[in-house]
Amino acid sequence: MDNYKCERCGSTTYGTAEHLGGEFIICEECGYIKMVKERDPELVKESLIPKCPSCGSTAITAGPLTYRWSTKRTMNRCANCGYSWEP
Ligand SMILES: [Zn+2]
Ligand SMILES: [Zn+2]
């Protein structure tokens, strides 16, 4: 991540944004955030297609579950065997 120049203010003093997963840098002058690493499309594809840990099927539906105590969690559910799990 050398020689990045802020697209907003032109500053070259950048800090990394570890809390954003280390794929972004933040301009120390104006706070502009720039993505420095695109996610590997293949990896994204893989991670978007979870397999059922029970039967191995990829017919998975995923969606957020909202509980009464307002905790939002995403659960995967196998359309083949009905097994559901946290991704
Ligand atoms: Zn800047
Ligand atoms: Zn299954």
Which CATH number goes with the domain that contains 59? 2.20.25
Confidence class of residue 30 from pLDDT cuts 50, 70 and 90? very high
Tally the domains of the chain: 2
Go through the chain and tell me how many residues it has.
87
For residue 41, the 8-state DSSP code is: H
Model confidence at 23, pLDDT cuts 50, 70, 90, reads: confident
CA torsion 35-40-43-48 (nearest 10°) is 50
CA of residue 44 to ligand 1 center, whole Å: 29
- Tell me the ligand closest to 61's alpha carbon: 2
- Nearest ligand to the CA of 25 is 1
Distance 79 CA to ligand 2 centre (A): 7
Q: Which ligand is nearest to the CA of 81?
A: 2
pLDDT given at position 54: 92
Tell me the pLDDT tens digit for each residue of 35-76. 776 666 665 565 556 788 899 888 888 776 555 555 567 788
Backbone φ, ψ for residue 43 (5° rounding): -65, -40
Structural domain harbouring 18: 1-38
Q: Are residues 29 and 62 in the same domain?
A: no
The answer to whether the beta carbons of residues 76 and 50 sit under 8 Å apart is yes
- Whole-number average pLDDT of the chain: 75
Same-domain status, 20 and 7: yes
Inform me whether the pLDDT recorded for 28 exceeds 70.
Answer: yes
Are both 26 and 47 inside the same structural domain? no
Same domain, yes or no, for 64 and 81? yes
CB 34 within 8 A of CB 25: yes
How remote is the CA of residue 84 from the centroid of ligand 2, in Å?
Answer: 8
